[in-house]
Amino acid sequence: MTLDIDTLQIGAPLPMLNLPAITRTTLALYAGASGDHNPVHIDIDFARQAGMPDVFAHGMLSMAYLGRMLTNWVPQQQIRSFGARFVGITNLGDRLQCVGRVVEFLEHRGERVVKIEIQTRNQDGETKVLGQALVGNPSINRAHSDNLNLFPGFSI
Amino acid sequence: MISKDFIGMTFAPHTVCVEAGRLQFFLKAIGETGPVYTDRYASHDAGYDEFPVPPTYLFCLELEKPDPFFHLTAIGVDIARVLHGEMSFDYYLPVSVGDCLTFNASIADIYDKKGGALEFIVIDNRVTNQNNDHVADLRSTVIQRNGQA
């Protein structure tokens, strides 16, 4: 399903995404899977030496959650840009909520797009990541191989 | 202080191919279960020949080099004292499993605030695929905290 951006109303909310509490396991798995092995996120001794009370979440984990909210709502091919500012530390135990809303229509690289403002906040309502995305209509020349055979040798 | 002479510095390009298993681990780590990313038929119906990478995965691929933080350590940044300040992606073409991407990194800017207590390093990456098509641009701003224990 594609999204026709011209059907969107300014101010309309995106379906929100609620995440489970951040645990040490969350961070260990994210460190391994993302390739961001900075020990400040996974090793409490290192974090303390760096002047932090404990390990804390990778900013890019929160951005990945925001990405999930966006792609739950719109096909990824329609996302033209995606940016985030990490304004607060996301701590162990934080239960993040991703929210977003449609803010304006504008022109971007010669295309009509809609700007979406997004953020993560924790259970106390503290904003941790502020972001935005630009979403366009599906490209007419997008490669779409309807007749692709996924399993050569078999016909579907 | 990090020398502002590094502004404009470019790094040797590095190439990394998108592996299915590694991508699956990433999806698990972020809790992504969307059918386009996990179900071959749904993915195909959405126009992909292979599973696409989710929107932030390009950052992970960029880290996939012998020293993930080389672009920072090479100019004297201490990763124990850094925070990620900002990140942005501009997307031009989809990226899927099997694609081989080349990252061309450069130092876009270095500046400080609060009398040098915070230093900002801005790194750009231009990303092309195996067909030499420009697939995305990344911009990452890292903040080094100075003057703390």
pLDDT in tens, B67-76: 888 999 999 9
| Reported confidence tier of residue A136, pLDDT bands at 50, 70, 90 | very high
Is the overall model pTM greater than 0.90, yes or no? yes
pLDDT at B148 over 80: no
pLDDT at B149 over 50: no
**Least confident range of A103-117, B68-82, B83-97:** B68-82
Mean pLDDT of chain B: 95
pLDDT at A140 over 90: no
Q: What is the mean pLDDT of residues B90-116?
A: 97
Chain A partners of B69 at a C-beta cutoff of 8 Å? 38
pLDDT at B95: 98
CA distance A100 to chain B (A): 16
How far apart CA B136 and CA B127 sit, in angstroms, is: 5
CA distance A1 to chain B (A): 8
pLDDT at A125: 97
Chain B partners of A36 at a C-beta cutoff of 8 Å? 60, 63, 68
Instruction: State both tokens at B41.
Output: 């038929």
Does B56 lie at the interface with A, CB-CB under 8 angstroms? yes
How far apart CA B116 and CA B144 sit, in angstroms, is: 10
pLDDT at A151: 47
Q: What is the mean pLDDT of residues B98-124?
A: 97
Preferred mutation among A27, A76, A87 to probe B, highest tally of B CBs within 10 A: A76
Q: Where is pLDDT greater, at B113 or A149?
A: B113
pLDDT at B50: 97
How far apart CA A65 and CA B27 sit, in angstroms, is: 11
Distances from the Cα of B15 to the Cαs of B58, B71, B88, B143, in angstroms?
12, 15, 20, 26
| % pLDDT > 90, chain B | 90
Preferred mutation among A77, A113, A156 to probe B, highest tally of B CBs within 10 A: A77
Give the model confidence (pLDDT) of A58-92 as tens digits: 999 999 999 999 999 999 999 999 999 999 999 99
pLDDT at B31 over 70: yes
pLDDT at A139: 78
pLDDT at A149 over 70: no
| DSSP helix/strand/coil, B5 | helix
pLDDT at B98: 98
Does B74 lie at the interface with A, CB-CB under 8 angstroms? no
| % pLDDT > 90, chain A | 87
Three-state SS letters, A15-60? CCEECCCCCHHHHHHHHHHHCCCCHHHCCHHHHHHCCCCCCECCHH
pLDDT at A1: 81
Return phi, psi of residue B70, to 5°. -55, -40
**Least confident range of A6-15, A114-123, B36-45, B75-84:** B75-84
CA neighbor of B75 nearest in space, from B7, B143, B148? B7
What is the rounded end-to-end Cα distance, in angstroms, of chain B?
A: 16
